[in-house]
Amino acid sequence: MSNVEIVLRLNAMGDILLTIPTLRALAANDTEVHLVINERWRAIADFLPATVHFFKGTTSLVPLANELKRLKPESLFDLQGKLSTIALRTLVNAPITRVYQKRTIVEQLQAIGRKYPLRFSDNRPVWQKYADTCGVSIDKPDASINLTNDYLEECRKVLESVGLKEKSFIFIHPEASKPGKLMTSELVSAIQAASPVPTAIIGNGNTELNCKAQHLDLRNRFELRHLPGLLSFAKAVISTDSGPMHLARAVNTPLVAIFFQTDPSLGFSPVPSDKTLVISESLPCKPCSLHGQNEVCPAGHFKCRQIDVEKTVKQIFNFLSKL
């Protein structure tokens, strides 16, 4: 009989996707894997390699804990470390309980106090830290999600409805949840001008961006449920540090991930692959925040956003041309 192990990672979408190598490694060890995520991410639940349970707010804590206790778990791994997961893991009280340690207290105070640049003692990628917390060793991380043929056929119809054909276009995702991660309009325009195929801008933002004749602005056109399938149909994805960046990696589409205010040294890069390029300019003041939340540059210059557009575009298409 398989052991039952529970993983708690409620938010955000990118962090949930970074658990996938660990979920797959646990399942390979004859483990019945259960994952708890926030209800807001229900749209991606069917694609994850685990049985998914939903946190629906504090009023759901006791019913959810009872649901998990009935599984008689051998182990519970808290990869969130917030009040909600602390309460949940306490209520479940699994025989083995391990908690992911994000940062030391000194490092956490540094981040809260907005001291920069942020320099942490543990620079391992987050996906690897998750694996270590859950007690699995991963040589070749499998970050892929599960897409059925019926689902992909549904997504093909969505793709056709906006006039795109499979593998004949590049998606650009220029926006993100925090201002310091946003792609500049100059870079978006330069990517469009240099692209050998039409591009389509995706996301949920409303930043003013110009699209030339052969390029499309498809922001706010797609449901999250369809996004994994649509990303899998792209020739490539060029994205900011964001959830869709990790989703593009999870469907194994060639990916260029561009970090502005944030930095890969914090561990939130995509799971590595031969089809993934991470671009991040090294600056003495970077990163100045954990998640790109600084709207005003603390050093007064915002050099992290003043990247060499020509050099960056050349780097992007040199990489993609070799795939």
Q: What are the structure tokens assigned to 24, written together? A: 């797959």
Amino acid at 27: A
Concatenated DSSP letters of 47-115: GSSSEEEEE-SGGGHHHHHHHHHTT--SEEEESS-SHHHHHHHHHH--SEEEE---S-HHHHHHHHTT-
- Quick one: average pLDDT of 204-215? 84
Q: Which pLDDT value is given to residue 1?
A: 54
- Quick one: average pLDDT of 77-82? 96
Domain of 15 in residue numbering reads as 3-100
Q: Which pLDDT tens digit goes with each residue over 17-58? A: 999 999 999 999 989 999 999 999 999 999 999 999 999 999
Is pLDDT of 2 > 90? no
- Percent of the chain clearing pLDDT 70 (strictly above): 100
Give CA–CA dist 243/16, Å, rounded. Answer: 9
Give CA–CA dist 26/11, Å, rounded. Answer: 20
Q: Which pLDDT value is given to residue 226?
A: 98
- The CATH number linked to 64 is 3.40.50.2000
- Quick one: average pLDDT of 216-237? 97
**Residue 39 belongs to a domain:** yes
**Residue 204 belongs to a domain:** yes
Is pLDDT of 303 > 60? yes
Q: Which pLDDT value is given to residue 254?
A: 98
Query: Among candidates 159, 170, 165, which has minimal Cα distance to 196?
Result: 170
CA angle 88-121-280, nearest 5°?
Answer: 95
158 and 65 part of one domain:
no
β-sheet bridge partners, residue 258: 240, 279
**How far, in Å, are 139, 231, 243 from residue 147 at the CA level?**
24, 12, 18
Give CA–CA dist 224/195, Å, rounded. Answer: 26
**Residue 141 belongs to a domain:** no
- Quick one: average pLDDT of 194-221? 91
Residues in the chain: 323
Is pLDDT of 205 > 90? no
161 and 85 part of one domain:
no
300 and 184 part of one domain:
yes
The domain tally of the chain equals 2
CA angle 208-212-215, nearest 5°?
Answer: 95
Q: Which pLDDT tens digit goes with each residue over 253-274? A: 999 999 999 999 999 999 999 9
Is pLDDT of 4 > 80? yes
- Quick one: average pLDDT of 65-74? 97
**Residue 135 belongs to a domain:** no
Kindly tell me the sign of the dihedral angle through the C-alpha atoms of 226, 229, 234, 240. Answer: positive
**Residue 61 belongs to a domain:** yes
